[in-house]
Structure 1
Amino acid sequence: MTRRSRLDWNGDAALRGTLDGAVRGLRLAAEHVLTESRKRVPLEEATLERSGTATVDESRLTAAVAYDTPYAVRQHEELGYRHDAGRTAKYLEGPLTEEAGTVAAIIAAQLRRSLRD
């Protein structure tokens, strides 16, 4: 007895869905890192904290988290500055490194979701 199966492959739709999932995952992951880094940003008047943004370049599939004040880089890099309890230099680098597993899981979950939809 011969069994036959038929498979219809809609590759364009699958690729579109995967791309959408990757972009969604990058956006959520960047927002997660931004949220975690805001907990450590040196705080005087909250200007630095409010300047934080998370962006995604959909064409390159990259995400960025940035703080945009004239002193953001100096505050990040200067290890000798005194900060309030819980506030530190390396306020972006620390959370990014520590949350790498969570970031990967967020992106992976959105990719899996896009393949199911």
Structure 2
Amino acid sequence: MKRTRLKWDGDAALRGTRTGAVRGLRLATEHVLQVSRARVPIEEATLERSGTATVDEQALTGAVSYDTPYAVRQHEELNYRHDAGRSAKYLEGPLTEEADAVGKIIAAQLRRSLRG
């Protein structure tokens, strides 16, 4: 009979999992930012350039935001006219539509971190 020993280092596994989660959140928020930038209403590209993706490593949360005085108005005003491919809800739409991709990105990084 052949025996195998397994040494479990729970602390290292948790650190690896957290590292994978943070990496996954970074990649996922960047993905949503990229998709949303393709829809941002554009005149001079100021709104598009103001987009950022951030991750709070302690809380394990990610955010995508746009920072211009008119970002919220452009996002919410459904009656504005936009160039082809550009639209209101330029962040909400991609976030909803890319939810599966976001989950897969995070899951892939978690799996990767557990492989060691």
Q: Which bin holds the TM-score, normalised by the shorter protein?
A: over 0.9
Structure 1 CA distance, aligned partners of 2:100 and 2:8?
33
Q: CA RMSD in A?
A: 1.1
Structure 1 CA distance, aligned partners of 2:3 and 2:83?
69
Is 1:79–2:71 an aligned residue pair?
no
The 4+ residue runs of structure 1 with deviation greater than 3 A are: none
Residue by residue over 1:33-85, the C-alpha shift from the partner in whole angstroms, topping out at 9 and shown as x without a partner, is 00000000000000000000000000000000000000000000000000011
Secondary structure at the aligned position of 2:62 is classed as: strand
Secondary structure at the aligned position of 1:56 is classed as: strand
Structure 1, unaligned runs of 5 or more: none
Aligned to 1:31: 30
Structure 2 CA distance, aligned partners of 1:62 and 1:81?
32
Q: How far apart are 1:8 and its partner, in Å?
A: 1.1
Structure 2 CA distance, aligned partners of 1:12 and 1:34?
33
Q: How far apart are 1:6 and its partner, in Å?
A: 2.8
Structure 2, unaligned runs of 5 or more: none
Instruction: Tell me the TM-score normalized by structure 2.
Output: 0.96
Q: How does 1:1-117 map to 2 (within 5 A)?
A: 5-117=4-116
Count the aligned residue pairs.
116
Instruction: Tell me the TM-score normalized by structure 1.
Output: 0.96
Identity of aligned residues (%): 81
Match of 1:22, as an amino acid? A
Q: How far apart are 1:4 and its partner, in Å?
A: 5.1
Match of 1:42, as an amino acid? P
